[in-house]
Structure 1
Amino acid sequence: MTSVPLALAAMALASAAPAKGPHVPAHGTQPKPAAEAAPEHAPAPPAPQRSPGAERVAAWIASSADNQGLPYIIIDKPAARAYLFNAKGKPLADAPVLLGKMRGDEATPGIGAKSLSEIGPAEKTTPAGRFLAKFGIAAGNQKVLWVDYATSVALHTIPVGNKENRKARLLSRSIEDNRITFGCINVPQAFYGKGVAPLFRKKGGYVYVLPDVKPIEDVFPRLRVHAASQ
């Protein structure tokens, strides 16, 4: 049986022992703090800023109601990007686009009557200007948004079975590889199906295509009036 003095001594030793703390590795190094858990939902990247030309056109349309109560799209060719607005001028979405292989702002006369195999390299341009666009049927019974029916320029998704890696071109960060089409404007599926189609399905809308080469006031002369009024 343990005597009282021995029991008291054992209790005193236990209370004097240092409390157990975190393990300190040898050589005086401190343990690395645990990495903070990554947030479940990372913040979305900021929307790209519109180019000065696109800003000017957007401001002019909004102030003058040039869209005549219809939805509209601004195609910024130098930036290879499309901006979608509703009938009241509210910006809804933006997306990268694929454009005509060659830079240029005019369509070759009579190009709408040519087959794709008859179109020369220099003719593969996306014309600049203001177009009243409506849905219609293209080759292969495909429904597209005709930007300019006379020159066979339409806005649609990437054609099935294309051999130019168009999806990769659309998703790349560079805009140099966005020039690949015969003149049509290719847009992502979500931009087309969830934005363009519901808005343009009934009455159509306007498409404003910014120029590559021409002065922007030559393509949209009313910008001069808008600038003077400002």
Structure 2
Amino acid sequence: MITVPLALAGLALLAAAPAGAAESASAPASSQAATESVTVKEAAGGGAQAERSDEASRVVRWVASSHDNRSLPYVVIDKKAARAYLFNGQGKALGDAPVLIGVQPGDDATPGIGAKSLSEIGPAERTTPAGRFLAKFGKAAGNQKVLWVDYATSVALHTIPVGNKEKRRERMLSKTIADNRITFGCINVPKVFYNKGVVPLFQKKGGYVYILPDIKSIEEVFPRLRVQPFLDAAAP
């Protein structure tokens, strides 16, 4: 739940999950069937993406023009819109989908939160951090495979957990953005978006996840955006 140093990325490959990772179990297909239908464009299919916000569009343009993703696939998470946008290593838009995110608006994690159990994490601590993360697949509680966005603070991207009692599938289908704030900080996505888009792209070398802020300015979270207009002007 804070920007992970690149040196920590290798921790995502460890079999032992941090204490707060119990939320990370994948949901069975039966509980995800309706959720899959809300994906605007599957990674393997065609169709137009949902309209992006100005801030999301700025980040997408910056990553594409600066090649900040280093030829790796990436996902842009717009927390205010509760939506994820998927791109391959060449910057081609492949699909987008609704997401569930942390209950509490906020852009930083509570220090030491990765060592807490879910029952020890208070409502004010349940934030999805903003920033640029190098994400890799690894094991979580229950031997489940998840995409670790920030292993040190137990933030992962995965499908809706099994046996949740918060009506997460209905919340994901809802048109009300506030309904999408329900997790302990992890990012829940539809099963088809995860299995047909994220997994094939990220499973070999990982990729980047760019999470837009709730409260901070976008330039504070992504400082390189400040110089992008000058780079655009200098481009032939």
Q: Give your verdict on TM over 0.5.
A: yes
The aligned residue for residue 214 of structure 1 is: 216
Report how far residue 73 of structure 1 moved. Answer: 0.1
- What letter is aligned with 1:156? H
1:52-73, Cα deviation, whole Å (9 max, x unpaired): 0000000000000000010000
In terms of mean alpha carbon deviation, does 79-88 or 44-53 score higher?
44-53
**Percentage identity across paired residues of the two chains:** 73
The aligned residue for residue 207 of structure 2 is: 205
Report how far residue 174 of structure 1 moved. Answer: 1.2
The aligned residue for residue 31 of structure 2 is: none
Higher relative contact order (CA 8 A, sep 6+): 2
Backbone CA RMSD of aligned residues: 1.2
Report how far residue 168 of structure 1 moved. Answer: 0.5
**Residue aligned with 1:154, SS:** strand
Find the aligned partners of 2:48 and 2:200 in 1 and give their Cα distance.
Answer: 25
**Residue aligned with 2:110, SS:** coil
The aligned residue for residue 49 of structure 2 is: 47
Report how far residue 229 of structure 1 moved. Answer: 2.6
Matches within 5 A, 1:11-90: 47-90=49-92
Equivalent pairs, count: 187
Q: Is the 8 A contact 2:128 2:186 kept in 1?
A: yes
Report how far residue 141 of structure 1 moved. Answer: 0.8
Find the aligned partners of 1:168 and 1:45 in 2 and give their Cα distance.
Answer: 24
Find the aligned partners of 1:119 and 1:45 in 2 and give their Cα distance.
Answer: 40
Q: Is the 8 A contact 2:137 2:148 kept in 1?
A: yes
Find the aligned partners of 1:54 and 1:47 in 2 and give their Cα distance.
Answer: 13
Find the aligned partners of 1:115 and 1:227 in 2 and give their Cα distance.
Answer: 44
Matches within 5 A, 1:142-221: 142-221=144-223
Find the aligned partners of 1:204 and 1:47 in 2 and give their Cα distance.
Answer: 23
TM-score (norm 2): 0.78
- What letter is aligned with 1:133? A
Query: Structure 1 61/45 Cα, relative in aligned 2: closer, same or farther at 3 Å?
Result: closer
Runs of 4+ aligned residues of structure 1 deviating over 6 Å after TM superposition are none
Find the aligned partners of 1:228 and 1:108 in 2 and give their Cα distance.
Answer: 36
- What letter is aligned with 1:119? I
Report how far residue 176 of structure 1 moved. Answer: 1.1
Find the aligned partners of 2:145 and 2:207 in 1 and give their Cα distance.
Answer: 16
Find the aligned partners of 1:173 and 1:92 in 2 and give their Cα distance.
Answer: 22
- What letter is aligned with 1:103? P
Unaligned runs of 5+ in 2: 1-45
TM-score (norm 1): 0.80
The aligned residue for residue 6 of structure 1 is: none
The aligned residue for residue 231 of structure 2 is: 229
Q: Does structure 1 residue 114 correspond to structure 2 residue 116?
A: yes
The aligned residue for residue 22 of structure 1 is: none
Q: Is the 8 A contact 2:49 2:95 kept in 1?
A: no
